[in-house]
């Protein structure tokens, strides 16, 4: 009976996992299929398949402009958050080990609802005339993505013994040389992971954009959100598919270049 019980338990586990995947990926699959709808309105399953709505997306200046804005915002956010987060983690780990309050402050945006952050940023940015601007969005996205970089880099840096840095210093390396030639190459996987998280979170964020985006800084997620209220054509599904595919390309490219899954396994 024991082999049968084990077999039954495995089957039950597989069924639970399969149902979980269906629940999580089902809505995304519906959007991906709907993007190829040949009709004029959203209808599932589609009566016929076509690429017409991807062409309509490419010809729509508003969607293209929002896509460009989101891409620029995501890249700028990833660059700034990765730089600030990596330096902050190194400083906290090597020079300010007892300043746990600073680490808590860096991770605080993870525990605060995104809506409250959006409202607070709206009030703060309005006072310095940055509300509704690209710079204001950049400030907000750096704020919410910094914790992801801090966590990713901290995990990698914890695996680098201080003795390695002390050995480099004993051989005549300066503090800057130790940082750029010894530490950063050893934690490059964590830095790459943090940069990817920062880009994906920024590229897909809609909550902050609802509060602080202006007419000249409408991101693609916000454009999709607004279009859902009045546009019944599958162009919204096509735009969502472009966003999903770009995110997957970034993740797969990072896996190919840095081997993130292999590094996470040890």
Average pLDDT rounded to a whole number, residues 149-159: 83
Q: Which two tokens stand for residue 230?
A: 């009045």
Q: Tell me whether residue 2 is in a domain.
A: no
pLDDT over threshold 50, residue 266: no
The pLDDT value given to residue 260 = 54
Instruction: Please tell me the distance from the alpha carbon of residue 186 to that of residue 226, in angstroms, as a whole number.
Output: 44
What pLDDT score was predicted for residue 61?
87
Q: What is the pLDDT of residues 168-178, one digit of tens each?
A: 777 777 777 77
Look at residues 69, 190, 84 and name the one whose alpha carbon lies nearest to residue 132.
69
Residue 183 maps to a domain = yes
**Domains identified in the chain, total number:** 1
Q: Average model confidence (pLDDT) for the chain?
A: 80
The answer to the question of residue 124 being in a domain is: yes
DSSP string for 8-75: HHHHHHHHHHHHHHHHHHHHHHHHHHHTTB-SSS--SS-SSB-SHHHHHHHH-HHHHHHHHHHHHHHH
Question: What band does 265 get if pLDDT is binned at 50, 70 and 90?
Answer: very low
Q: Is residue 39 part of a domain?
A: no
Assigned domain for 13 exists: no
What is the structure's pLDDT at 9? 60
Taking the CA atoms of residue 219, residue 221, residue 222 and residue 228 in that order, the dihedral angle to the nearest 10 degrees is 140
State what percent of residues in the chain have pLDDT above 70. 88
Which residues have CB under 8 Å from 32's CB, separation 6+?
Answer: 237, 241, 244
More reliable by pLDDT, 243 or 39: 243
Locate tokens 């987060």: which residue? 85
Full residue range of the structural domain in which residue 152 is found = 54-264
What token pair was written down for 39? Answer: 């009709």
> Is residue 256 domain-resident?
yes
Task: State pLDDT tens for residues 193-234.
Answer: 888 889 989 988 888 888 887 777 788 888 888 887 777 778
Cα first-last separation, the chain: 37
Longest Cα separation, the chain: 72
The answer to whether 157 and 214 are in contact (CB under 8 A) is no
Residue 82: per-residue pLDDT: 92
pLDDT single digits (tens) 25-57: 777 787 788 878 877 777 777 777 788 888 888
CATH number at residue 258: 1.10.3720.10
In a domain, 247, yes or no: yes
- Cα four-point dihedral sign 113, 119, 124, 130: positive
Q: Is residue 185 part of a domain?
A: yes
């Amino acid at each position: 009976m024991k082999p049968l019980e084990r077999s039954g338990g495995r089957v039950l586990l597989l069924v639970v996992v399969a149902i979980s995947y269906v629940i999580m990926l089902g809505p995304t699959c519906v959007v991906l299929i709907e993007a190829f709808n040949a009709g004029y309105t959203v209808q599932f399953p589609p009566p016929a398949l076509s690429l017409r709505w991807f062409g309509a997306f490419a010809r729509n200046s508003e969607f293209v402009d929002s896509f460009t804005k989101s891409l620029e915002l995501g890249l700028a956010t990833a660059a700034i958050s990765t730089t600030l987060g990596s330096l902050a983690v190194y400083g906290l780990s090597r020079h300010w080990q007892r300043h746990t309050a600073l680490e808590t402050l860096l991770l605080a945006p993870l525990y605060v609802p995104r809506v409250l952050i959006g409202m607070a940023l709206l009030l703060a940015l309005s006072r310095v005339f940055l509300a509704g601007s690209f710079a204001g969005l950049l400030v907000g996205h750096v704020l919410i993505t910094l914790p992801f970089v801090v966590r990713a880099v901290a995990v990698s840096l914890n695996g680098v013994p201080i003795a390695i840095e002390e050995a480099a210093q004993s051989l005549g390396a300066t503090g800057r040389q130790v940082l750029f030639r010894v530490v950063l190459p050893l934690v490059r996987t964590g830095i790459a992971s943090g940069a990817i998280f920062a880009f994906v979170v920024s590229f897909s964020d809609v909550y902050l954009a609802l509060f602080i985006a202006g007419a000249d800084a409408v991101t693609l997620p916000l454009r999709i959100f607004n279009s859902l209220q009045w546009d019944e054509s599958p162009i919204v599904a096509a735009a969502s598919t472009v966003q999903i595919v770009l995110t997957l390309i970034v993740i797969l490219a990072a896996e190919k270049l840095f081997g993130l899954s292999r590094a996470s396994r040890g």
